[in-house]
A = this chain, B = another copy of it.
Amino acid sequence: MTYYDEELAAKGREIQGKLWGNLAAGGGGGMTGAALAPDFFKLVQQFCFGMFWGREELDIKYRSLVTVSQLAALGKYEELKGHLRGALNVGWTKEELIEVMMQTAVYCGVPAGVNALNAAAEVLMDA
């Protein structure tokens, strides 16, 4: 049985709304994984966004920077694109986000920086 707490889910939806607006409504968008395992995305909304992102000890703008930085380090480029869109929505500029991708080259290697910039171009080029 899949855990569900309405208050926690509402907290998660609030954070998702700040990052992605109406696009977040579906909780997983058009992804095939969301169709296969809808329960998973209900849990993610609760524990990832409700339990962690929702904590007041760190501002959502800074959490967004942490996440963008880690997705670039992990080489998870689809998620990176989603969170770069979110980063623009919570107050980071295109110029600042390009610098984050550039600094990735120093700490994670030049190929990681190149890949991150290629992924970012799709989101940031016209931002």
Contacts and interface: CB of A to CB of B under 8 A. Distances in A.
A119 B32 CA distance: 8
A102 interface: yes
A18 to B, nearest CB: 16
A106 interface: yes
A32 B111 contact: no
B37 A98 contact: yes
A107 B62 contact: no
Contacts of A72: 70
Interface in A67-84: 67, 69-76, 78-79
Interface of A: 1-3, 5, 8, 28, 31-37, 39-40, 43-44, 46-48, 50-53, 55-58, 62-63, 65-67, 69-76, 78-79, 95-96, 98-118, 120-122, 124-125
